[in-house]
Every structure is written in C-alpha cells, then in structure tokens.
Amino acid sequence: MSQITALDTFDLRFPTSRMLDGSDAMNPDPDYSAAYVIVRTDDDGPDGHGFVFTIGRGNDVQVAAIDALRPLLVGADADALLADMGSAWRRLVHDSQLRWLGPEKGVMHMAIGAVLNALWDLAAKRAGVPLWRLLSGLSPEQIVDLVDFRYLTDALEPAEALQLLRAAEPGREERTADLVAHGYPAYTTTPGWLGYDDAKLARLTREAVEAGFTQIKLKVGGDLADDVRRLGIAREIAGPDIRIAIDANQRWDVDEAVRWVKELAPFDPWWVEEPTSPDDVLGHAAIAQRIAPVRVATGEHVANRVVFKQLLQAGATQIVQIDATRVAGVNENLAILLLAAKFGVPVCPHAGGVGLCEVVQHLAMVDYVAVSGSTENRVLEYVDHLHEHFADPVRIENGRYLAPERPGAGTEIIAPSLVAHRFPDGEVWS
Amino acid sequence: MSQITALDTFDLRFPTSRMLDGSDAMNPDPDYSAAYVIVRTDDDGPDGHGFVFTIGRGNDVQVAAIDALRPLLVGADADALLADMGSAWRRLVHDSQLRWLGPEKGVMHMAIGAVLNALWDLAAKRAGVPLWRLLSGLSPEQIVDLVDFRYLTDALEPAEALQLLRAAEPGREERTADLVAHGYPAYTTTPGWLGYDDAKLARLTREAVEAGFTQIKLKVGGDLADDVRRLGIAREIAGPDIRIAIDANQRWDVDEAVRWVKELAPFDPWWVEEPTSPDDVLGHAAIAQRIAPVRVATGEHVANRVVFKQLLQAGATQIVQIDATRVAGVNENLAILLLAAKFGVPVCPHAGGVGLCEVVQHLAMVDYVAVSGSTENRVLEYVDHLHEHFADPVRIENGRYLAPERPGAGTEIIAPSLVAHRFPDGEVWS
C-alpha cells in the first residue's frame, strides 16, 4: 500500500500581459497563471501533477482552494483511490461543507479539478502510458463508473451512456492507429488576438495557412468596424476554404450578439464563440436560432456538466468546448463528452492559456477513440504560448496534434519553471 | 475626503454541527460560518461590516478571496465610492483578471458581495439610517444606476426597470408606515431540520403556530417514508390553514423530484424548495410543469442574476429566494428584485445560517416599499439561530419581522463574538 503524503502547491504566473498575447474583448491584460499542485506519495514512484489555469490576480485564492482539499487526501491510500476514481470524484465534489462554496462551480470546483487531474497524472504515470491511452483502454463499464450521473439522468441515463460506449468499441484499435499515424486536427488562435495590429494579423494568418491549419480563430467584440476590417483581412488571405471562427469572449447581450454577428456573416464565420454570458443557456439558444447557419460555440467558462446538459437540451450550442481545468477534472469532462455524443454535437476543446493544450489533447483523443468515434467537424484549439515550460510539450505537425507518447496527463511543469515563475518571489517577478 | 485604509478579515465559525441545527439532506453536519470583513477608513466615522455565510470547511478560502480584493479598495476615496455604488460594483465584478475565477459565481463572486455589503453598511451608518430606509429613499433613477444590466436586457431593459420603480413610487410612504407599524411577514424553518426526531418536530411545530407564524418549512429528501410520516405529523398539528413548505436542498434528479413530490402532495405542500441542482433552469422548469399546482422555489444557491433571469423566463420558479451573501451584494439583489417584479413572481428570501436574517430583511423591506409594492404571498424565512452575535439582531413578533431601526445593513457581529469564534484559535474552538 502506498499513502498520499503531501499536496504541495505553487502560485505560478507568466507575465504575458507585457506582450498582449492572449488579449481579447473581456480580458485585455492577462498574466497567464497556474495554481499548481503536486500530489506526493510515500513510495518511490512518480508524483501526480495538476493545475488550474487562471489569468493572474486571484491565482493565490485558487491555490488556497487547493490547499483546502489537503485534509481530504493526505493519509489516504493512493492505490485504493486510483483504483476507484469515480469514488474519488464524489469524495471531493460532495464534501458536505466545501460544497456550499459552489456548489460545483468557481474556485472550489476548479480546485477539485486540479487535484483530480493530478491523481489521473499519477495513475497514467504508474501505468506507464499517456492518459489518453489509459482512458481509451478502459471498458465501457469502467468509464461509466467514473461519471457521476446526478442531475444528468433527464438527459442521459447510465445505461444509455454504456450503450454509446459499446457502440464505439469495435473501432477503437483502428482509430488509435490513425491517431498515432496522423495526429488530431487542430486550429489556431495565434493570428487573432485583439491586441495585434493588422500587419501582424495578416502575417500570422498567412503563416497559419502555410503551416497546414484548416481553421483559424479571431477575437471580436471590441469595436464593430475593427472586426469587419480584421475579418476581411483574414478572409482575403486565408481564402474561402479555410474556416474562420470568431470569439467574442462573453462581450454581448442577446440582441447585440445577433446584430453584431449578422454584420460579420458576409465573411462566412464558421462559429461564434462565447457570444454572451456562459451561464445564459436560454440566451445562447435564442442567439443560435437567430444567427443560423452560423454556429454557436461555448464551454471554456461553463461551470459544470449540469450547464452543458442544458446547453445541449436547448440546442443552445452547436460546438461543445470542454476545458481541461474549468470543471472537476477528467471525470466530469468524460460526462460532458458522453452528453455531447448523446446529442450528436461535436466537441472542439478550448486550449491555449498555460498548459491547456498539453492537458486537453488527451480528452480530445479519448473522445475520438472511445466516445464519439469521429473527428468530423472536430478541431482542437492550438496557441503557441508557453509550451516550453512543460515536461511533455505538445507537438504540432501540419496543423495536427501528434499523439502524446510519454506517461502522464500532460500536466507536469518542469522544475526550473516552477522556481522561476513562482509569484511573487520567482526571478521572473522580482 | 476620507480614504479606505484597511479590509480586515476574520474566519468565524460556530460549532452548530454539535447540535444538528441546520441539518438537511445535502448538508448533514454544517458548522455555520462567516468569512467576515471590516472596511475601515481614516476618518472618525463608522466602519463597514460584511460577510459571506458558509457552512464550515473552506471558510478560509472564502476569506482568502476577500483578501484578494484588498488592493482594489485600499487607498480609494470612500466618499466617491459610496456616492456611486453602481461603479463600485462594476469595479469589483469586472476586474479583468479576477473575473476568470467565476465568472460571476462561487467563492470570488461571494467575496465581492461581502465587500459591497460592507460598503452599504458604511453608507447606511453614515446616513444614520437602516439600509432598508436608505434604499427605499433613493429615486427610481438612482436605483437603476445601481444595477448592471449586462446580460439582462433580453428580459429587462433599464427603461422598463425605471417604469416599474416609478409605478411603485406613489405608495412608498404608506408602505413604510405599514412596515414600521406591523413588520414584514415571516415563516419559520425551526421545526423542520432533518436531524430532529418526531417529538421535537411536533413540539416545535406547535410552538411555531402558537407564536403566530402562518407558514413553516420542513426539510425533506432523505427518505421518502420518513418524509411522509414527518409531513403528516406537521400537517396534523398545524391544521389545514398553515402553509407548509418543503425543502429538498438539491437532493433529486428531475424524474425523482416529480415522483417524490407527488407522494407528498396529499399533505398540501405550499412550495418545494431546491428540488434539484440550482444550475438546472430547464430541470426546474420541467419539474414545475409536472408538479403544479405545487410551486417550485429556488435561489439560495443560484449563482447570479443571469441564472435568476432564466429561471423567470422559463417559468422554472414560482418563488424567488434571494440570498444576502450568495450574489454580489445589495446591487445584484436589487437587479433580482427588479427581474422578479417584471415577471410578477413573489420574492421570499432565504435566511437562517448566521446573520442571513439580519441582512436579508432589509432587501425584503425594500422590495415591499419601492419595488414590488406588495407582501402578498411573500414571506421572509426565519430561523432562531445565532442572532445573539449581532449588533442589531432581528426582532420577531407574532410571526413578523419588525423593521430594523438602527443605522447600518444588519451585518455587524459584536466584538466578543469576533474574538470567541475566530477559527481555529478562538475559545469556542480551542
């Protein structure tokens, strides 16, 4: 038996606001950050790493929330915990007192996600495989056992989830081979940050197309005339066959979203992302109906599976954008993948930030191998920031993510970066 | 000019789990707690007090979130801030980096609520009036200026809110006099905690009726046979004319809620509270439709005005239960009062916990005087816990809240309790 001995936490921040990387209509000056946790055990094996992505101020609050989970795990039997990750999820999410701080949303819920992802990192490292392979190798019954169906059964019963997973079982081997040979399709947000000038937008759009990407994304929602001009530049350079998504980062009310998107419709946007509040299921549904055939995409700020369930029930989103660190970890994202499969809606994960690409690629790949069984209309976001800090950085070739090969969940930041980026005393900040 | 010099925070906890006060189907062992803040200025005048109510573990995380707001306020001009509380709300809620931690939900959003309520406490003390009088004395234009209509305009435009408030203007004086003379109608949850045995339930039900309450509430959702027996006892003692609400504290999925409530329908429950996840607008709507004429009530865990908007748009709740410390303070609760008035749905605030009665009574009274203009089908929850710790404890007479008379927002805890209940070093805990 091995025991969990420590949850060590780190407040890591990267001074991205100095370059306006990551600037958009709602987030003009982010300092990409990670509330980072290492789960240690008393054996000689690996540690588990996990984190919550934030954009600067408040990363210390996020760390405090992870710290609050320490008493629930230190002293626990690591083997038993990893052998029943469905119970581990419930133990953390349903703590009778901590639950009040959400419930199942915000800082406390994300903290649980970081810890669960660290446990998954540990499990994958112990198994000697990358997380996507570990998960893709589970039986349908094992996957269903990882999911808490509370509040979901009006849309998806466990039996139905099992059926979906069984239907996808036959092709697993073939799709795994396909992933290893060709990777997973990506799109890039690199050209389109709101803080970039037209020349930089044009150059980066050209480079993205040349690099093999078939979809790019532009931030919008600051100023309509600017958006029209910028989208025109991108469309002219990209040509008619490259998909261009637009992303408003929650900038609009319902009517405003509809008016704005209609003005941009001549440039054939593939989807409009986060047109309004991520909590507004009915608002997204109204927008989706009024701007069709332009698709609505959302998810990076959707608090939990219950809101995703409703977005799907209401036809409010045509693209499900899971995020690796917004919900309570791998388990809850599996629930969301199952919901999306049930409703036949493609999952195109949110990534970027710091480490989100590294982590969420595993979930996109599980979706392909074991859940939806498809990459049709599925693309995984790619942003070329901060990968150098990770032990297993993503590898992009010809507009596709290559399948990770190293054991783990992609969550591990290299030791020198843990030191240099520690806030406020690391060398980057002093 | 006076300047804000400090935000002093306190982790206060009350060992309520020792008595099973406050026990329900989801919260079996709460230790009622307050993440408490005092806003201090450099003048000789009063300080402002505010808090978030939690139920124990994680109260330290909630305190850390309040601490994270310190740099946004210390050094600010207190006079300017209090003169434009609409801007103060936006300054805190729309901070470009902290926003990521919600957005507008959970620990960070509640922290903002505590600080805003402390500013309102300061404003009311400076004005020498209780908060309900301060707010009831504002012009319709001033009230509208306090509300952020972002994400609300598809349901309520500022002009419409103004119209509602103007329509309620003529009767303000008369309703104020009525409040002072007769107080505001209350109901009590004291008899119905899940941890109490049948004899205690019977005794407390009898006492509640004798004390003049016309509505009581019972916790349900643990075990159906128990609920049938307990509701039977309460109905027999209370007779047919006392309203009995039931509260499931989010225990059920949609179908389960419908089945369970139908079994309890013979006892004529007035409303069923929190039948399922507070995030599940569509789930509440389905339940409401299927259990009518039993009403659905929810709100104490509803994260923000955007979710309340949808609950009203979807006909998902027939009773709006605002909470004093779940959303971002007085301003956001005014938005919710306006939305409820627009949809003609009565507001029956959630209270209890520690200090929730003291604070939320001010909002119920503003609703009566200046917003809805009515107490029809409106009752304010009352639980007889922990009032002795407050500088201006609620006063209940004949089943009604007497209107507060002392200056402030009802948020102030007396100094000895700040010392004795400090966690983990106060005498109560050591």
pLDDT tens per residue across span B207-217: 999 999 999 99
Contact predicate A106/A303, CB 8 Å:
yes
Q: What are the structural domains, with CATH classification, of chain A?
A: 4-129 (3.30.390.10), 172-417 (3.20.20.120)
Pairwise CA distance, residues B354 & B51, whole Å: 10
The answer to whether residue B237 scores a pLDDT higher than 90 is: yes
Q: Which of A22, A309, A286, A103 is nearest to B100 (CA)?
A: A22
* Catalytic residue selected from A49, A109, A125, A219: A219
Contacts of B55 in chain A (CB under 8 A): 96-97, 100
Q: What is the pLDDT of residue B422?
A: 98
Taking CB atoms and an 8 Å limit, are A57 and B97 in contact across chains?
yes
Residue of A nearest to B304 (CA): A279
What is the pLDDT averaged over residues B255-274?
A: 98
pLDDT bin (cut points 50, 70, 90) of residue B28 is confident
A56 contacts B65? CB cut-off 8 A: no
Closest CB to A101 among B58, B104, B253: B58
Alpha-carbon gap, residue A114 to A54, rounded angstroms = 12
Pairwise CB contact (< 8 Å): A253 & B98 = no
Q: Is the peptide bond before B424 cis (omega within 30 degrees of 0)?
A: yes
Q: What is the pLDDT of residue B18?
A: 81
pLDDT tens series, chain A, 430 aa? 899 999 999 999 999 888 766 667 777 788 999 999 999 999 999 999 999 999 999 999 999 999 999 999 999 999 999 999 999 999 999 999 999 999 999 999 999 999 999 999 999 999 999 999 999 999 999 999 999 999 999 999 999 999 999 999 999 999 999 999 999 999 999 888 888 899 999 999 999 999 999 999 999 999 999 999 999 999 999 999 999 999 999 999 999 999 999 999 999 999 999 999 999 999 999 999 999 999 999 999 999 999 999 999 999 999 999 999 999 999 999 999 999 999 999 999 999 999 999 999 999 999 999 999 999 999 999 999 899 999 999 999 999 999 999 999 999 999 999 999 999 999 999 8
Is B279's CB within 8 Å of A56's CB? Answer: no
CA angle A213, A312, A374 (to 5 degrees): 40
> In degrees, to the nearest 5, what angle opens at C-alpha B400 toward C-alphas B395 and B403?
55
Separation in Å, CA of B182 to nearest CA in chain A: 35
Q: How far apart are CA B296 and CA B291, in angstroms?
A: 8
Using only the alpha carbons of chain A, give its radius of gyration: 20
Name residue B36's beta-bridge partners. B10, B51
Of A57, A278, A306, the CB nearest to B277: A306
Measured distance CA(A120)–CA(A97) in Å, rounded: 25
CB pairs under 8 A between A and B: 199
Residue B339: its pLDDT value, please?
98
Nearest Cα of chain A lies from the Cα of B150 at a distance, in angstroms, of 7
Task: Name which of A13, A23, A282 to mutate to probe chain B: the one with the most chain B Cβ atoms within 10 A of its Cβ.
Answer: A282
Distance in angstroms (rounded) separating the CA atoms of residues A423 and A420: 9
Distance from the A325 Cα atom to the nearest Cα atom in chain B, whole angstroms:
11
- Nearest C-alpha of chain B: how many angstroms from A1? 29
Distance set, CA B421 to CA B13, B31, B153, B388, B394 (Å): 6, 11, 43, 13, 20
How far apart CA A250 and CA B248 sit, in angstroms, is 33
Shortest Cα distance, chain B CAs vs residue A298, angstroms: 14
Identify the residue among B93, B101, B115 best suited for mutation to test binding to A, counting A beta carbons within 10 A and taking the highest.
B101
Distance CA A429, CA A136 (A): 41
- Residues in chain A with CB shorter than 8 Å from the CB of B307 are 279
Instruction: State the pLDDT at residue B429.
Output: 94
Test A54 with B97 for CB contact under 8 angstroms: yes
Catalytic-residue membership of A219:
yes
- Nearest CB among B67, B68, B280 relative to A310 is that of B280
| Nearest residue, CB atoms, A57 vs list B95, B254, B255 | B95
**Is B105 within 8 Å of A105 when comparing Cβ atoms?**
yes
A64/B279 Cβ within 8 A: no
8 A C-beta contact, residue B120 and residue B329: yes
Determine the distance from the C-alpha atom of residue B289 to the mean position of all C-alpha atoms in its chain, rounded to a whole number: 26
Which chain B residues touch A150 with a CB distance below 8 Å?
253, 277
Cβ separation of B279 and A65 shorter than 8 Å?
Answer: no
Give the three-class secondary structure for B27.
coil
> Residue A125, exposed/middle/buried by CB under 10 A (0-12, 13-18, 19+)?
buried
**Chain Cα centroid distance, residue B227:** 26
Identify residue A218 by its one-letter amino acid code.
Answer: L
CB pair distance less than 8 Å for B310 and A277: no
How far does the CA of residue B425 sit from the closest CA of chain A (Å)? Answer: 18
Amino acid A193: pLDDT:
86
Q: What are the structure tokens assigned to B414, written together?
A: 């007396």
Nearest to A107 among B29, B99, B106 (CB): B106
In the residue annotation, B350 being an active-site residue is answered as: yes
Residues of chain A in contact with residue B154, where contact means CB-CB under 8 angstroms, are 253-255, 283, 286
Per annotation, catalytic residue among A49, A342, A350, A389: A350
pLDDT at position B1 over 90: no
Q: Which of A52, A101, A37, A113 is nearest to B59 (CA)?
A: A101
Distance CA B288, CA B428 (A): 44
Distance CA B127, CA B138 (A): 12
Residues B377, B144 contacting (CB under 8 angstroms)? no
Say how far apart CA B169 and CA B183 lie, in whole Å: 20
Secondary structure string (H, E, C) spanning chain A? CCEEEEEEEEEEECCHHHCCCCCCCCCCCCCCEEEEEEEEECCCCCCEEEEEEECCCCHHHHHHHHHCCHHHHCCCEHHHHHHCHHHHHHHHHCCCCHHHHCCCCHHHHHHHHHHHHHHHHHHHHHHCCEHHHHHHCCCHHHHHHHCCCCCCCCCCCHHHHHHHHHHCCCCHHHHHHHHHHHCEEEEEEEEECCCCCHHHHHHHHHHHHHCCCCEEEEECCCCHHHHHHHHHHHHHHHCCCCEEEEECCCCCCHHHHHHHHHHHHHHCEEEEECCCCCCCHHHHHHHHHHHCCCEEEECCCCCCHHHHHHHHHCCCCCEECCCCCCCCHHHHHHHHHHHHHHHCCCECCCCCCCCHHHHHHHHHHHHHHHHCCCCCCCCEEECCCCHHHECCCCCEECCEECCCCCCECCCCECHHHHHHCECCCCCCCC
Six-digit token string for A205: 């759009």
Helix (H, G, I), strand (E, B) or coil at B29: coil
Nearest CA in chain A to B150: A253
Residue in A68, A110, A307 nearest the CB of B58? A68
Q: Do A279 and B101 touch (CB under 8 A)?
A: no
Containing B104, the helix (H) or strand (E) segment is none
CA gap B300, A345 in Å, rounded: 33
Among A9, A90, A156, A277, which would you mutate to test the B interface (most chain B Cβ atoms within 10 Å of its Cβ)? A277
Chain B closest-CA separation from residue A335 CA (Å): 16
Q: What is the mean pLDDT of chain B?
A: 96
For residues B291 and B266, the answer to whether their CB atoms sit within 8 Å is no
Do the Cβ atoms of A40 and A86 come closer than 8 Å?
no
Task: Name chain A contacts of B102, Cβ cutoff 8 Å.
Answer: 106
The alpha carbon of residue B64 is apart from the nearest alpha carbon of chain A, in Å, by: 6
- pLDDT tens per residue, range B70-91: 999 999 999 999 999 999 999 9
> Measured between CB atoms, which of B107, B254, B310 is closest to A154?
B254
Q: What is the mean pLDDT of residues B333-357?
A: 98
Q: Which residues of chain A have a CB within 8 Å of the CB of B277?
A: 103-104, 150-151, 306
Min Cα separation B28/chain A (Å): 7
**Chain A interface, best mutation among B154, B157, B289, B305, by max A CB count within 10 A:** B154
B301 contact residues in A (CB cutoff 8 A): 103
Q: What is the dihedral of CA A423, A426, A427, A430, to 10 degrees?
A: 50
Catalytic residue among B105, B219, B342, B389: B219
Give the span between the Cα atoms of B79 and B43, in whole angstroms. Answer: 11
Task: Report CB contact under 8 Å: A107, B103.
Answer: no
Q: Name the residue type at position B328.
A: A
**Scanning every residue of chain A, which has its alpha carbon at the shortest distance from the alpha carbon of B69?**
A58
- Residue to substitute from B277, B300, B302, interface A, most A β-carbons within 10 A: B277
What pLDDT was estimated at residue A16? 87
Output the CA angle B346-B305-B126, nearest 5 degrees. 85
Helix, strand, or coil (residue B248): coil
pLDDT at B27: 72
CB A53 within 8 A of CB A16: no
Among all residues of chain A, which has the CA nearest to that of B63? A61
